[in-house]
Amino acid sequence: MRRNRQDGQSAPTAWAYSPAPEPRAIVKLQPRYGLFINGAFVEPHSGRYFTTLNPATEEVLAEVAYAEAEDVDRAVRAARHAYEHWSKLPGKERAKYLFRIARLLQERAREFAVLESLDNGKPIRETRDVDIPLTIAHFFYYAGWADKLEYAFQGRTPRPLGVAGQIIPWNFPLLMAAWKIAPALATGNTVVLKPAETTPLTALLLAEVLQQAELPPGVVNIITGDGQTGAWLVQHPDVDKIAFTGSTEVGKLIQKAVAGTRKRLTLELGGKAAHVIFEDAAIDQAVEGIVNGIYFNQGHVCCAGSRLLVQESIADLVIRKLKRRIQLLRIGDPLDKNTDVGAINSLPQLQKIERLVQVGMQEGAEIYQPDCPLPERGYWYRPTILTNVSMAHTVAREEIFGPVLSVLTFRTPDEAVQIANNIRYGLSAGVWTNKGSRYLEFAARVKAGVVWCNTYNKFDPTSPFGGYKESGFGREGGVHGLLPYVAF
């Protein structure tokens, strides 16, 4: 079966695939989840619960406890109590728990992948091949460090900090939990983790895995709630460290809240990455990289390559190929193994994307979207390309956090660096060129924590990740990721 789609400029032909849904029966949802405090699921103090939805269908998946200040306090006290024992365990004993968690996650990988797709809306292909394997790799990696800390910081003796309050976003729910929990535990800290309000379910399933691993009670506590819950955690006087991943706006609030206290802080915030294509690049590969850079995870990626900078001499060619390519992306059921682009995570996020694209068009951008069918229910946004954009445009400066690419052009390598750096963010960048000297020079001059050369969105637990400027500070991953959790 073949289906023709045309945009007036080109006529690619997409294969129509039969549905290939991943069965969801492997996930056993409970109607209601309590707070995970001191090794057990408990009722919230207020008795309040909220719902979490499947954004692809708007179906309610479960009710989740709302943690208020009293619950935050209970969780912090449990973590403090557990710290007395956990921080004194030899590193090789802590490592055993981390290895055990990693192995249990491997055994239950499919269950986690399906649940993550249900609660987040991202395609099963990504949860199965990216989120869950990377989560496991993180636990394995930091398990390896737990008994070798003196080699990580040669000549110095690292000490844990105490209780870490960790607040994570909804775009990579389980993976962000692993980025936070694994290095904290490896270094001897205990944890109170707050998942995002729209995606709490895989963190709660992780709590079950922690029970299965017989992690001592209180070493990791998981409290669900909204921004207010997060704020209570940040303000709690007995928390020694805050690690936050989320929006720059909330990051600034948190930085103000901890200013003048003894709390240590790391922030991983927003981005507006420059993805630079030089005229000597391998164009077809670069087009694949651009697609991966912005449409992976519906563009809900802080390091997404959302600002495409193309050298003027090849701009028409690249844009033409890109438009052709995105007509072939499959949008729809996240549980279908052929789906490339899933659902937008929530209605407010969808409205934010729509509003920013509207502003872009009012400011003169030209919009291109494939005319693919969208499901009737749920939150959906077509992969979008905005051309005729300059750095004066809102869509070139603001983080959209959706499948929307803003295209700009440049003439010289100097101009590419200048446009790339002309932004308040500095999380990531990408560069495509045939010349090693050119990408090395670009990487040295661009103010971004991560620079990908002739590839994009590659993650590895051994490699540090984090930002410059308003993208935050502190690194996660690699030996650098241990540093925010130790004192000397």
**Residues 220, 98: Cα–Cα separation, whole Å:** 12
State how far the Cα of 228 lies from the Cα of 484, in Å rounded to an integer: 24
Residue among 87, 106, 211, 247 that touches ligand ADP (CB under 6 A): 247
Chosen residue from 196, 287, 404, 446 binding ligand ADP by CB under 6 A: 196
427 belongs to the binding site for ligand ADP (CB under 6 A):
no
Name the pairing type of β-strands 159-160 and 486-487: antiparallel
Q: Active site residue: 22, 197, 268, 398, which one? A: 268
Query: Shortest Cβ distance from residue 227 to ligand ADP (Å)?
Result: 3
- Residue written as token pair 């060129």: 433
Closer CB to ligand ADP, 168 or 243, in the complex? 168
**Is 150 marked active-site?**
no
In the residue annotation, 303 being an active-site residue is answered as no
- Is position 254 an interface residue for ligand ADP (rule: CB under 6 A)? yes
Q: Which residues of 87-122 are buried (b: 16+ CB within 10 A; e: fewer)?
A: bebebeebbbbbbbbbbbbeebbbbbbbbbbbbbbb
- Distance in angstroms (rounded) separating the CA atoms of residues 177 and 180: 5
Binding of ligand ADP by 167 (CB under 6 A): yes
Q: How far is the CB of 300 from ligand ADP (least distance, A)?
A: 8
Separation of alpha carbons 35 and 39, rounded Å: 10
- Smaller CB separation from ligand ADP, 146 or 269: 269
Q: Which of 22, 116, 302, 372 is catalytic?
A: 302
Contact between 194 and ligand ADP per CB under 6 A:
yes
Give, rounded to a whole angstrom, the gap between the first and last alpha carbons of the chain. 65
- C-alpha–C-alpha distance, residues 172 and 168, integer Å: 9
- CB of 247: closest distance to ligand ADP in angstroms? 3
- Number of shown-chain residues binding ligand ADP (CB under 6 A): 16
Neighbour-count burial of 82, counting CB atoms closer than 10 A to its CB (0-12 exposed, 13-18 middle, 19+ buried)? buried
Establish if 360 lies at the interface with ligand ADP (CB under 6 A).
no
The answer to whether the CB of 162 falls within 8 A of the CB of 241 is yes
User: Quick check: 230 binds ligand ADP (CB under 6 A)?
Assistant: yes
- Which residue type occupies 389? V
Q: Among 246, 342, 467, 484, which residue interacts with ligand ADP (rule: CB under 6 A)?
A: 246
Is residue 203 close enough to count as binding ligand ADP by CB under 6 A?
no
Confirm or reject binding of residue 197 to ligand ADP (CB under 6 A).
Answer: yes
Chosen residue from 89, 253, 453, 479 binding ligand ADP by CB under 6 A? 253
Q: How far is the CB of 32 from ligand ADP (least distance, A)?
A: 20
Rounded to a whole number, what is the largest CA-CA distance in the chain?
68
Name the site residues for ligand ADP (rule: CB under 6 A): 167-169, 194, 196-197, 226-227, 230-231, 234, 246-247, 250, 253-254
Query: Residues with catalytic annotation?
Result: 268, 302
